[in-house]
Every structure is written in C-alpha cells, then in structure tokens.
Structure 1
Amino acid sequence: MKKILATLVILLGFNSHGNAQDKMMKKEMQATTVTLEQTKGAFTQDNLTLKEGSYIFEISNNNVGHDVGFVLVSKGKDASNPENHIKTAYVTSVVKNNSKEKSNITTLQKGEYVYFCPLNPTPQYTLTVE
C-alpha cells in the first residue's frame, strides 16, 4: 500500500510539474519577442514603438568584446537607481560575447520608457508604448 501511495505522489508531482511548464509555454506564446542587438557602445535599434502588451526582450551581443545586459525604466524615473528598473526585463543571464539571452515576460502599459546597457555602456534610448 505504501508503494502504491508513493507512486501516486510521484506521478502527481510529475503531472503538476508538467502543467506548470505547459502554463509557462502558453504565456511565452502570448508574449511578443523584441530582438535588440548591441554593438560596442550602442544598440543598433535606437528607438522603439510597441503596442501595449507582453514582451520578451532578446538581447544579442554582436562582438562587443565583453558581457552586456539590458535595463528598462519608465521614462522620468532615475535610471541609475536599480529600484526603478523593470526587473522582469532584465536578461536572465548576462549576454556573453557573440551570443543571445532573453528576459522574462514583461507587461508594458501605455507610456514612455528608456532602455540601455550599463555594462556596454550605451546611451539611453526611448521605447514608446501606444
């Protein structure tokens, strides 16, 4: 009886883990991926306009020569203060030279934002959400 109960617990654990992965995959499918490329000291896309919604930011490091990252902040807030950063927009790992990394899903509402890389470093660019 104990073996049957243990087997059921294990199977239910796998099932709930599978359901969590399914939910995450569905959310990712509902998010739009925005691809941004960094070169030495700059993003190649200098201003963006998006619609209100959910996004995943994919950041590529095009031969910068060192790790890069991504910071997104509501325009008007102090971008140098990490408390103002939209943390879901951070890449999940630093972007190594000549590679790509993605952020978590980030929901953006209408307004203006700035994005930049403090590791590269780049200027601040405007992202407008309509």
Structure 2
Amino acid sequence: MDKKKFKTVDEYFQNIPRHTLERMEIIRKALKETASLAEEVISYNMPALKYHGILMYYAAYEKHIGFYAVPSTHETFKEELSNYKAGKGSVQFPNDEPLPLDLIKRMAAYRYKEKLDASKE
C-alpha cells in the first residue's frame, strides 16, 4: 500500500491490492458482526474498530494481514498464535495460507467483551 493518509475505512479498502482485498473484506465483515456496537475508524492509518477506545486494528500488507488486538488479547490466545509471526500485541497472517477466521472472530469477541465489561464499571 502506498503512503496515502486515509480518512475513512472505505477509502482504505479502495486502495488495497487486489490479492489481499477479499481477505480484508472477510475480516471486516467478521469484525463488524462480532463487535456490533463498535464504530469503524482509521487510526494510525489503518482500519480499526472503536468502542470505548480502540478494540483492534488490521491492515493489508504485501505478504500478510496484520492484526493488532492489544497485548491482553494476544496473551490469551498465545498458544493458537504460536504458529504465526507475532509480537506482544500483533500477529501476521500470511496471505499464502488459509485465513484463520474462527481465531480472528474469537479474538475480536474476547477484546469486545473486555471493553463491554469495562464500560459497565
């Protein structure tokens, strides 16, 4: 992706390379369904979901999809993420491997529940 500054998630998606667009659309739909009250925003020039703060970010790259659901989420799912290149709060899902959609949904649901619970306190 180029260094353009995106104002909306739709604008970001219009600039995704074709080979990652379908995967990103699948993730976008799953995240919207999982975190139904969350708002789509651009943060750090990436698509993100926001509900009482940022829930997660995701981004298209040449060889992978980056998924960033904060360290607490990644720690909870660290065993399942161990097959992927990952950092403290990030994971890379290679574009030449099947998309782990069930895992992405469960991570999103976990993070969303964290924010829902925190908003009730």
Q: TM (normalized to structure 2)?
A: 0.29
| Structure in which a larger fraction of residues adopt helix | 2
| Structure in which a larger fraction of residues adopt strand | 1
Q: Bigger relative contact order, structure 1 or 2, given CA contacts below 8 A and separation 6+?
A: 1
Q: TM (normalized to structure 1)?
A: 0.27
Q: Higher Cα Rg: structure 1 or 2?
A: 1
